[in-house]
């Protein structure tokens, strides 16, 4: 989706994951396919807006919405919006959440190469309600995070041949379904954050990130010669 953002690039393992994942979702949840949101920019690096992650080609956003039973045009992929699955008060899922959605989320978290799946807290709570008694290992990978009411964020584990890639620390607190684990996400300050006061001073424009600010290995990636590759997800 949103091809104009040019964020449909990723590590070969991410592209391979998406192919396997979409096939699994088609088979197990009966969806015609998935709608893939942001991956990373060509050769990665910090994005000028929108995310702090999505830099190293191992992150992808996937909509909760199934792909329609036809290939969308480029224009439709710019214009279509992702519906929210969470009620206005942020406490529970709405009618957009179906058995298919639950299967889609479960399949994502079950994949062995997946390190984390981020969802809205109301969606995590619903998944716990549906599956929580079983204490599956995948449930621990499903983490509540701000937003994420209209897409999941999938982060893959570090590929075996990337020694500088840092694993994310293991999540404490078991499957994250206990009242205590979820309480923070339904606290007043998370559901109703106080808007920051507009400052009287004009805000300084954000300093552009320079190559020197990035790890040294990034120069090698940026300066590497272009080669024929099938790493990009094909865009129609």
Question: Residues interacting with Zn ion, by CB under 5 A?
Answer: 61, 153
* Chain Cα centroid distance, residue 92: 20
Smallest distance, Zn ion to C-beta of residue 225, A: 30
User: Which C-beta is closer to Zn ion: that of 61 or that of 131?
Assistant: 61
Smallest distance, Zn ion to C-beta of residue 197, A: 29
Can you tell me the distance from the alpha carbon of 27 to that of 104, in angstroms, rounded to the nearest whole number? 11
Contact residues for 205 (Cβ-Cβ < 8 A; gap 6+): none
Q: Nearest residue by C-beta to Zn ion?
A: 153
User: Which C-beta is closer to Zn ion: that of 125 or that of 153?
Assistant: 153
User: Which C-beta is closer to Zn ion: that of 119 or that of 131?
Assistant: 119
User: Which C-beta is closer to Zn ion: that of 81 or that of 229?
Assistant: 81
User: Which C-beta is closer to Zn ion: that of 122 or that of 131?
Assistant: 122
Q: How far is CA 206 from CA 47, 48, 54, 165, in A?
A: 13, 10, 19, 27
Smallest distance, Zn ion to C-beta of residue 152, A: 8
User: Which C-beta is closer to Zn ion: that of 131 or that of 143?
Assistant: 143
Maximum distance among all alpha carbons in the chain?
56
Smallest distance, Zn ion to C-beta of residue 10, A: 12
H helical segments located in 30-120: 74-79, 99-110
Q: How are strands ordered across the β-sheet holding 151-156?
A: 59-63, 151-156, 114-119, 142-144
Smallest distance, Zn ion to C-beta of residue 118, A: 7
Smallest distance, Zn ion to C-beta of residue 53, A: 6
Contact residues for 96 (Cβ-Cβ < 8 A; gap 6+): 64, 83, 84, 85
């Amino acid at each position: 989706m949103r091809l104009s953002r040019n964020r449909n690039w990723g590590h070969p393992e991410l592209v391979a994951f998406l192919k396997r994942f979409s096939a699994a979702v088609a088979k197990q949840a009966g969806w015609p396919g998935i709608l893939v949101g942001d991956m990373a920019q060509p050769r990665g690096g910090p994005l000028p807006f929108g995310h702090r992650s999505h830099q190293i080609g191992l992150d992808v956003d996937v909509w909760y919405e199934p792909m329609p039973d036809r290939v969308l045009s480029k224009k439709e992929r710019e214009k279509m919006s992702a519906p929210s699955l969470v009620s206005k008060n942020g406490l529970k899922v709405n009618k957009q959440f179906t058995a298919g959605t639950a299967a889609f989320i479960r399949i994502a978290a079950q994949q062995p190469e997946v390190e984390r799946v981020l969802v809205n807290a109301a969606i995590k709570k619903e998944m716990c309600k549906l599956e929580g008694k079983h204490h599956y290992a995948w449930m621990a990978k499903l983490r509540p995070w701000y937003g994420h009411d209209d897409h999941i964020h999938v982060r893959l584990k570090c590929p075996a041949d990337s020694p500088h890639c840092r694993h994310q620390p293991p999540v404490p607190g078991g499957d994250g379904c206990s009242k205590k684990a979820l309480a923070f996400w339904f606290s007043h300050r998370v559901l109703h954050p106080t808007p920051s006061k507009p400052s009287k001073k004009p805000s300084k424009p954000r300093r552009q990130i320079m190559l020197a600010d990035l790890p040294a290995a990034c120069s090698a990636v940026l300066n590497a010669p272009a080669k024929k590759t099938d790493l990009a997800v094909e865009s129609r």
